[in-house]
Chains A and B, each alone.
Chain A
Amino acid sequence: MATTVVLSSGTDWTVTVAAPRLVLHAIKRHYGPVIALDGAELSVRVGEVHALLGENGAGKSTLTKIAFGLERPDSGTMLIDGAQVTFRSPRDAMLRGIGMVQQHFALVGAMTVTENVMLGAHGNLNARATQDQIRRISDESGLPIDPKALVNELSVGAQQRLEIIKALARETRMLILDEPTAVLAPQEIDDLLSWTRRFANAGGTVVLIAHKLREVLSVADRVTVLRRGTTVLTADAASVTEAVLAEAMLGAAAVAMPETESTRIRAIYRAPVISLLNASASDEQGVLRLASTNLTAYASEILGVAAVEGSGQRELLRIMSGRLRPTQGTVQLPAQVGFVPEDRHRDAVILDATITENVALRGAGERRGIMSWSALQQTTTELMRARDVRGDDASAAMRTLSGGNQQKLVIGRELAMSPAALVVESPTRGLDIRATAEVHEALRRARDAGTAVVVYSTDLDEVLMLADRVIVVTAGQVREVPNERDVVGRAMLEAAT
C-alpha cells in the first residue's frame, strides 16, 4: 500500500512503505481430532515474494486455503489491506485480488487455453477479446502460451503458466502458489521463480509454498516457517541460512530414537536382494522422475527412503517392487517381492470382495486352473490369526475390517510367501497408535527373518525410526546419508547438486 508522506517543504512524495497486504492472525483449524493449525500467523507485504515453509502436515496448505476462501478457520482474524474480511468462497477472495494455483490444476483438458480462461468469467464472453487479453498478459508477464492450444496437449509447465495467466486475467494482485515447483523440470523451475520475482517487483505479491530451501532462498524476500500448525519463524530471507530454516522446520531438539539392533545383523550377512543399475524412469509427459540410479537393498535390513513429495521416490519404490519398468537401465529383482502401496483402498484391497479373495489376490495374475477355495479359506483364517486381524470369519467382506486390520492383513498377505523383499509405502497412514506399533513390529520381524525391507513414508520420523540405512531422494537423485534426523532433513530439502 502506498502511503503518502507530506514533507515539510510542501512537496508530495509518494514513498512505498512495505505495508501488509494480507494478515492472518491467530488462525486455528482442526479436522476432526487432528489439529491442522494452532494459532498460525502470516503477514504478507505488498511487492514481496513470501515463502511459506514446513514439513508435510505442518499446515501450509490449510493456511493458504483459508487465505483463498477454500477453507474457513475455526477462529482467528484475516485482514486484507488493513480491513478485516471473511471469505465464504474463493469468489470472495478473487474479488479482493487474491488468486491461487493449487497443486492439482483446475483446468478442463478437452478445452482450449482461451476457453479455460473464459471459464468462470462473467458477463459478455468474447473469445476474440479473451484471446487478445491472453496474448497481452502473456507478453507482459513473459509467460509464453498459445491461446488456441488444447490444454490436454500442454506440458505440465505450460498448464501451470495457464493457471497463472487465468489468475492474472482476473486482476489478481496476490498469487498463492502451492508447491509449484514439485511438478516442473529444472529449467521450468528457473523460469517460474524468475517470473515471481518480476511480478513482485511490478507491485504484485506472491506467496510461495515450497519444500526446497535453496529454491526458496534464491527468490524469496521473506520466509515464514510453520511447524505443527504454529508459526515458528518469520524472517527476511537474506538474514537466514538453509541450516536455520531446516532447524526451524524440523525442530531443534534431537528426537529420541529407539536403538536399532539390526546393524549387528547386517554386518553378519549382506546378501544383495534388489539391485538397480543406472535405472531411470520418466512419467507420461516425458519428465525425468528418477535419474540413472544405482542402489542395492540387502537381506536383513530395513532400507528407509526419505523424500519430499514428487522427488522421484514413488517411481523408485515402484521399480523396486517390480510394478514399474525403468525406462533405462537394469533392475535385478527376486522372484517374490511383496508390495504395500500407499493408497490402500485403490491399489491394495478390493473392499467388496471377501477377505479370502483379497488374500487370494496376491499372485492372481499367475494363477492357473481351479481355485481351491476351501484351502484358501483356511489359509486366510490362519493368516488372520497369525497377524492378529480382528474381524468376522474369512468369508466376510473386506469392507467390514477396520483400517488397521486391513493393513495388517495386507502386510500379512504380502509376507505370506516369504518374499525375499518387501517394499512398503506409508505403511501406517491413517492408523491409530496401536495399529501403527503392530505394523512396525511386523516390518521389523520380517527384517529379522531375512527379508530386505524398503520403507518410504511421508512421515520422516517413521522412516528414521524403522531404518537401518537411510537413502534420500531429491529431484530424482538417490544418495545414502547417516540416520540422523537433522542430516536427513537437510538433505531432503536441498536441491540436488
Chain B
Amino acid sequence: MMRRLARTLLELTLAVWISVVVLAALLTLSGYNASDALLALWRGAFGSWAVIASGTLVRATPLLFAGLAVAIAFRAGILNVGAEGQLIVGAAAATAVAVALPPSFGLFGVALALLAGVVFGGAWAAIAAVLRVRFGVLEVISTIMLNFIAMHATGFLVRGPLQEPSRIFPQSALIDQALRLPRLMPGTRLHAGVALAVITALALAWFLRATASGFRLRMTGANPDAARTAGLINVSRVTLSAFVVSGALAGLGGAVEVTGVTYALYENLSPGYGYTAIAVALLARLNPASAIGAAVVFGALQAGASAMQRDAQVPAVMVTVVEACVILVLLASEWVGDRAMVGRFLNRGGTPNALNASPDSPVRPT
C-alpha cells in the first residue's frame, strides 16, 4: 500500500517535472530567457499569499469542479469530454437566475443561482447520456458537439435575452452585490466557492469509497458485464445517473465562476476549463480528493502564465504545453492503462451487432 502510494507520487512528480523541463526547453528554443520566464511563472502562482488566494486558488476552483466532473464520469466508464459545455450552460443558467432575482434574496438567491447551474449542467449532460444509453451514440462525440452548441448558445444569450440593459456590450448585466458569493479573505478575490469545491471533492471521494451507489458506479466502470451478471446492477441506470451527476458538477463550477469571479456572463467566460479538467482528472488519477491538488497545480500554471506574459513577455499559451505534456506522460504510464477507461473505450467498439453470430458460439477450438 505504502509502496504503491510512493510509486504514484513519484510518477506524478515526474510527470510535472518532465513537463516543466519541456517548457523550459521550448522557451529557450523560442529565444526567451527560460529562467526569467519560469521565475515569473512561479511568482505569479505562489509569490505571495495575495497571489495564491486571488490567482492560483481562484483559477483552481472551476478546474476542480470540472475535474471532478471528468473524474466521476471516467470512473463510471463514461468518457465525458463535455465538461466545458456543461460548465458554460451552468454559468448561463446561474446568471439568468441571479440577474432576475431581487437583491433582497441575498444568500438564498445565491443558492438558487448555484442550483440552476447544477440542474442545467446536469440536463446538458443528460442529452449525451440518453443518446448513449438508448442509442449507443459515443459520448466522446456527442459531448464535444454539445460543447460547441453551448458556446454559441451563450453568444446568442449575451446578445439577446440576457444582454445588459444598455445593449452595447455582448455580456449580461452585472450580478448584484448581494447575490454574489461572499469573499473569504478581505483584499483578495478568494470566494466561498473555493471552500465549496473542496467540500464537494471530499464528499465525492467519500461517496465513491463508502456508499453502495459509489461502489456500483466504480464496478460498472471497471467491468459492466460483470456488474450486470454477477452484481445484478442496472448498468444503464448507473451510467445515466453518473453522467448526469458529472454534468451537474461541471454546471456548478460554471455557476460558481459567475457568482464568485466574473459577476456576469460573456463569451469565452471559460478559457477551456473543461478541457484542462481532463488533465486535472488524469493527474489526480481519477481520485476526487487528489483532484484538489491537481486543480491547484493547473490553477497555479494558469495564474503564473498571466504573470509570465506580463513580466517576461512570454505568451501565456506556452503554458498549455505543460498541460499537454502532463496528459501524455500520464497516458504513457501503464497505470492509466490499468484503470478501465482507456482500455474499455477501445474495447467497447460501439453498439453490439448481429455480426458476432449467435451469443451461443464463443470461439473455441472444436
Contacts and interface: CB of A to CB of B under 8 A. Distances in A.
Given A364-B216, A364-B231, A370-B211, A151 B361 contact: no
B222 A365 contact: no
Contact-residue size bin, chain A (C-beta under 8 Å from the other chain)? 35 or more
A460 to B, nearest CB: 14
Nearest to B234: A365
A60 B364 CA distance: 11
A352 B340 contact: yes
Interface stretch (A19-27, A190-198, A343-351, A461-469): A343-351
A314 B359 contact: yes
Interface stretch (B239-247, B278-286, B349-357): B349-357
Interface in B339-365: 339-340, 353-365
Pick from B211, B232, B339, B356 the residue with the most CB of A within 10 Å: B232
Interface in B219-243: 219, 222-223, 225-227, 229-234
A283 B358 contact: yes
A310 B361 contact: yes
Contacts of B361: 103-104, 179, 182-183, 309-310
A186 to B, nearest CB: 15
Interface stretch (A76-84, A253-261, A292-300, A355-363): A355-363
Contacts of B364: 56, 61, 458
A156 B357 contact: yes
A59 interface: yes
A182 B360 contact: yes
Contact of B338 (A159, A347, A352): A352
A493 B137 CA distance: 42
Pick from B216, B233, B357 the residue with the most CB of A within 10 Å: B357
Given A54-B366, A370-B211, A371-B211, A364 B219 contact: yes
A32 to B, nearest CB: 12
Nearest to A55: B366
Interface in B259-306: none
B218 interface: yes
A209 B365 CA distance: 12
B275 to A, nearest CB: 27
Interface string A32-76: 000010000000000000000010111111100000000000000
Contacts of B209: 371, 373
A323 interface: yes
A283 B355 contact: no
10 contacts: A57-B366, A156-B354, A285-B354, A343-B362, A352-B223, A353-B218, A353-B222, A361-B227, A367-B215, A371-B214
The 7 closest A-B pairs by CB, nearest first: A367-B212, A364-B231, A365-B232, A61-B366, A347-B229, A310-B360, A365-B233
A352 B339 contact: yes
A357 B360 contact: no
A368 interface: yes
Contacts, number: 148
A31 interface: yes
Pick from A105, A357, A361 the residue with the most CB of B within 10 Å: A361
A373 B210 contact: yes
Nearest to B339: A352
Contact of A323 (B216, B229, B234): B229
A56 B353 CA distance: 26
A151 B366 contact: no
B215 A371 contact: yes
A365 B365 contact: no
A218 to B, nearest CB: 21
B210 A156 contact: no
B356 to A, nearest CB: 6
A357 B354 CA distance: 33
A160 to B, nearest CB: 9
Interface of A: 31, 36, 54, 56-62, 103-105, 107-109, 151-152, 154, 156, 159, 178-179, 182-183, 209, 283-285, 289, 309-314, 323, 339, 341-343, 346-353, 357, 360-371, 373, 395, 410, 458
Nearest to A347: B229
B230 A348 contact: yes
A31 B365 contact: yes
B365 A61 contact: yes
A395 B211 CA distance: 18
A61 B366 CA distance: 5
B23 to A, nearest CB: 33
A309 B355 contact: no
Contacts of A369: 211-212
B216 A365 contact: yes
A352 B227 contact: no
B212 A368 contact: yes
Given A61-B366, A314-B359, A361 B354 contact: no
A59 B365 contact: yes
Contacts of B216: 364-365, 367
B231 A56 contact: no
Given A363-B231, A364-B233, A183 B355 contact: no
Contacts of B226: 346-350, 361
Contact of A364 (B1, B215, B363): B215
Contacts of A289: 360
B243 to A, nearest CB: 18
B138 to A, nearest CB: 14
A366 B230 CA distance: 12
A103 B363 contact: yes
Contacts of A209: 366
B366 A59 contact: yes
B219 A109 contact: no
B221 to A, nearest CB: 10
Contacts of A371: 209-212, 214-215
A179 B366 contact: yes
Contacts of B219: 350, 353, 357, 361, 364
A58 B366 CA distance: 6
